[in-house]
């Protein structure tokens, strides 16, 4: 299985801040990387697919970049509703493994 | 708009078989180009991909996580627009919220889970 590691595990930021979450794969996965947002008690929501493509309906303040083994999710201007846990997932080979999650809190 | 809804027992005894169903509404489960998957999440922990089924036009195809493969079966009932998960010989470690999801291909060759059910909590306990 491909292992995905996210950093940090948690972070706290203020409204309006630029926030970056990192995801690293233990082998090259090209651009087969998705990002999800999960709010407490809710199912995950797809934000970014193919490393950098924005899912329909997702605010443009979210963006993704990277290829190979290193990827980032960036929120350009943090909003209160962005308080959630974020997961990366590789879709390069099954089983499609997830990172351990990054819990984002608003200061 | 496609929606997914999980159903099944919330409590399963150890060593028994966990059985869940996901009902697809607003679209056909037989539509080409999609996989239908199960993902679980223990309380306070991360997401674990269990497996998927799809390609019904080609006779059907299932893929399972190697860590669960010996205990997992995913099947489909196209007449009911449902797919199901069976997990045998369960233990407390199988206690989790179980999600069904649709995997689509928003970019050529790149699949992602774009629609999820709300999730159903399953507890393994005697």
pLDDT band at B32; cut points 50, 70, 90: confident
Considering only the beta carbons, identify the residue of A44, A50, A97 that sits closest to B107.
Answer: A50
Q: How far is CA A55 from CA A62, B29, B99, B115, in A?
A: 10, 22, 20, 11
Among A94, A97, A99, A102, most B C-beta atoms within 10 A, so best to mutate, is A94
CA separation for the pair A106, A17 (Å, rounded)? 10
CB-CB neighbors (< 8 A) of A32 in chain B: 110
Among B72, B83, B86, which residue's Cα sits nearest to residue B34? B83
Question: pLDDT by residue (tens digit) across B81-109?
Answer: 999 999 999 999 999 999 999 999 888 88
pLDDT of residue B55 exceeding 80, the answer is: no
Task: Give yes or no for A97 touching B (CB within 8 A).
Answer: yes
CB-CB neighbors (< 8 A) of A53 in chain B: 106-107, 110
pLDDT of residue A21 exceeding 80, the answer is: yes
């Amino acid at each position: 299985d491909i292992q995905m590691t996210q950093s940090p595990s948690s972070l706290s930021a203020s409204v309006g801040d630029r926030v970056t979450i990192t995801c690293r794969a233990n082998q090259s996965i090209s651009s087969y990387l998705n990002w999800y947002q999960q709010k407490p008690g809710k199912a995950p929501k797809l934000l970014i697919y193919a490393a950098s493509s924005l899912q329909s309906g997702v605010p443009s303040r979210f963006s993704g970049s990277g290829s190979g083994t290193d990827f980032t999710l960036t929120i350009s201007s943090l909003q209160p509703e962005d308080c959630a846990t974020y997961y990366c997932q590789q879709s390069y080979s099954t089983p499609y493994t997830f990172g351990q999650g990054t819990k984002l809190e608003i200061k | 708009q496609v929606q997914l809804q999980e159903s099944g027992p919330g409590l399963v005894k150890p060593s028994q078989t966990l059985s869940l169903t996901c009902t697809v509404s607003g679209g056909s489960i037989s539509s080409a180009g999609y996989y239908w998957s199960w993902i679980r999440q223990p309380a306070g922990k991360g997401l674990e991909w269990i497996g998927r089924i799809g390609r019904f036009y080609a006779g059907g195809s299932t893929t399972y996580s190697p860590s669960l493969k010996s205990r997992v079966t995913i099947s489909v009932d196209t007449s009911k627009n449902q797919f199901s998960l069976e997990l045998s010989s369960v233990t407390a470690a199988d206690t989790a919220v179980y999600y069904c999801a649709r995997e689509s291909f928003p970019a050529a060759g790149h699949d992602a889970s774009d629609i999820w059910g709300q999730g159903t909590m399953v507890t393994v306990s005697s």
